[in-house]
Amino acid sequence: MASVTLRRLSKVFAGGVQALHHLDLEVRDGELLVLLGASGSGKTTVLRCIAGLEEPTSGDVVIGERVVTQESPAERDVAMVFQSHALYPHLSVRDNIAFPLTVRHVGDAQVTRRVLEAATRLGLKDVLDRMPQQLSEGERQRVALGRAIVRGPQAFLLDEPLSRLDGPLRIELRAELLALHRALGATMIYVTHDQTEAMTIGQRIAILHEGRLRQVGTPEEVYQRPADVHVARFVGTPGMNVLRGRGRAAEKGRVIEAGSLVIPVELSTYEGELQLGVRPEFVGLCAVDHGVGNVDVLVVEPLGSETLVHLNAGGQPLVARLQGFADVPVGTRVGVKVDRRRLYLFDAAGAPLV
Ligand SMILES: Nc1ncnc2c1ncn2[C@@H]1O[C@H](COP(=O)(O)OP(=O)(O)O)[C@@H](O)[C@H]1O
Ligand SMILES: [Mg+2]
């Protein structure tokens, strides 16, 4: 296995779409890094550039110590698993898994051994003689993984490999993938648009937005110390509340005004326009006129262990996450409390204010 490094990687497609802007990223040898971003943010393009399926417009891809930017996909020795697994329909499971080895003219005995090893790891031993159309969706995705494993590549590139699976199966395969990562000590780049998935599997998460890397960090770092408003909104279920407002001097000290909220602050000396961030778990409800402002209840979502209450704070949306079930009638007006130690301040453009 090897590290994978991107150096100032950019990609402009014919027609002028700039998909990637100067990405710098180092995925350590043996690391599982999640590349997280909305649809169209450039995730697949990153993987295709690493695999050699797409030529970067500028910048380099480095695998281990080797600059591979000019090398063919075969020379790079990385395995890519796609969202749509593209198995060969006329080949058995056994031959599908063996395929990368047979095209490389690996000897029969070794092919048999490596296919069996991969199939055992993935729980596919009993279906080796079936054809792809005789498999469940989950089994097909395992075969696609098997095809990557047999090669013993320098790195695995996984492009939303679980997005076609439904709930429980997805969680099951996710756990298997984590076990596989541990067992193989493999370098893996795992692409997803699902931030919950990213938080649960990533040792580190790299957040891509409109072709730019916004932040790279552990799940806790990106949650607790988001690099900008975009990351703050994107990470978390639901994401951070961000309200447009302004800081100003008040009779006693200073306040931040945002929508219908007026929040006394001690630390910020910031004057003028800003954005106020607060996670839904640090927003509470109280009687009218007893909090930092009054809001209208728009929608109430009871989820069992918690209730999400969607509020209108003077024309700006605000979500409160309350424990258990909450008796908050839609259409009523209530007061809002916020935990002032848990506020984030960003400038008007979205950069953190410290
Ligand atoms: N072959 C291509 N030609 C032109 N534009 C492309 C091509 N492939 C991707 N793009 C554009 O590049 C951007 C990033 O795409 P992609 O990497 O597929 O995003 P993601 O995988 O995050 O959904 C999108 O705006 C997409 O339309
Ligand atoms: Mg994609």
Ligand 1 close to Cβ of residue 43 (< 6 A): yes
Query: Is it the case that residue 269 has pLDDT exceeding 70?
Result: no
Say how far apart CA 276 and CA 256 lie, in whole Å.
8
Residues 134 and 16 placed together within one structural domain of the fold: yes
Per-residue pLDDT tens for 11-39?
999 999 999 999 999 999 999 999 999 99
**What's the Cα-to-Cα distance from 270 to each of 34, 259, 313, 345, rounded to whole Å?**
35, 17, 22, 9
Residues 208 and 246 in one domain: no
Does the beta carbon of 39 lie inside 6 Å of ligand 1?
yes
In angstroms, the CA 257 to CA 233 distance is 20
List the CATH number of the domain containing 332. Answer: 2.40.50.140
Least confident stretch, 50-54, 196-200, 298-302: 196-200
Residue 46: per-residue pLDDT: 98
**Total count of domains within the chain:** 2
Termini Cα distance of the chain: 40
Per cent of the chain over pLDDT 90 is: 82
In a domain, 354, yes or no: no
176 pLDDT band (50/70/90 cuts)? confident
Residue 202's pLDDT is 83
For residue 268, pLDDT over 70 is answered with no
What is the arithmetic mean of pLDDT over 340-345?
92
**175 pLDDT exceeds 70?**
yes
Would you say the C-alpha torsion 33, 34, 36, 40 has a positive or negative sign? positive
Atom of ligand 1 nearest to the CA of 159: 21
Q: Express each pLDDT in 62-109 by its tens digit.
A: 999 999 999 999 899 999 998 776 899 999 999 999 999 999 899 999
Query: Could you tell me the distance, in angstroms and rounded to a whole number, from the CA of residue 11 to the centre of ligand 2?
Result: 15
19 Cβ below 6 A of ligand 1: yes
Q: Ligand 1: distance of its center to the CA of 44 in Å? A: 7
Q: Whose CA is nearest to atom 4 of ligand 1?
A: 13
Mean pLDDT estimate for the chain: 94
Q: Is the dihedral of CA 153, 156, 159, 165 positive or negative?
A: positive
Task: Tell whether 121 and 59 lie within a shared domain.
Answer: yes
CA-proximal residue: ligand 1, atom 10 (nearest):
19
- Give yes or no: residues 66 and 134 share one domain: yes
Q: Is 55 in the pocket of ligand 1 (CB under 6 A)?
A: no
Which of 206, 262, 245 has the alpha carbon at shortest distance from 37?
206
What is the pLDDT, as a whole number, of residue 308?
A: 98
Mean pLDDT over residues 135-158, rounded?
A: 92
Domain enclosing residue 153, as ranges: 4-234
The tokens for 96 are: 């599908």
Looking at the fold, whether 247 and 206 belong to one and the same domain comes out as no
Using the atom order of ligand 1, give the atom closest to the CA of residue 37: 22
pTM: 0.91
What is the reported pLDDT for 71?
Answer: 96
| C-alpha angle 167-170-173 in degrees, rounded to nearest 5 | 150
Q: Tell whether 204 and 245 lie within a shared domain.
A: no
The answer to whether residues 135 and 94 belong to one domain is yes
Identify which ligand lies nearest to the alpha carbon of 193: 1
Query: Which pLDDT tens digit goes with each residue over 195-204?
Result: 999 999 988 9
CA of 208 to the centre of ligand 1 (A): 13
238 preceded by a cis bond (ω within 30 of 0) = yes
**Is the Cβ–Cβ distance between 333 and 350 less than 8 Å?**
no
Q: Which of 48-52, 162-166, 193-197 has the lowest mean pLDDT?
A: 162-166
Reported as a pLDDT band with limits 50, 70 and 90, residue 333 is: very high
Percent of the chain with pLDDT over 70: 99
Mean pLDDT of 153-181: 89
User: Measured from the CB, is residue 45 less than 6 Å from ligand 1?
Assistant: yes
Q: Which residue owns the Cα nearest ligand 1 atom 1?
A: 13
Q: What is the CATH number of the domain that holds 39?
A: 3.40.50.300
Same domain, residue pair 162 and 70: yes
Q: Is 50 helix (H, G, I), strand (E, B) or coil?
A: helix
pLDDT at 85: 66
pLDDT of res. 173: 87
Q: Where are the alpha helices (DSSP H) in 227-305?
A: 229-234
pLDDT of residue 284: 97
CA of residue 56 to ligand 2 center, whole Å: 16
Give nearest CA residue, ligand 1 atom 12. Answer: 19
Residue 249 and residue 210 in one domain: no
Residues 227-267: pLDDT tens digits?
999 999 999 989 999 999 999 888 878 899 999 999 998 76
Together in a domain, 223 and 179: yes
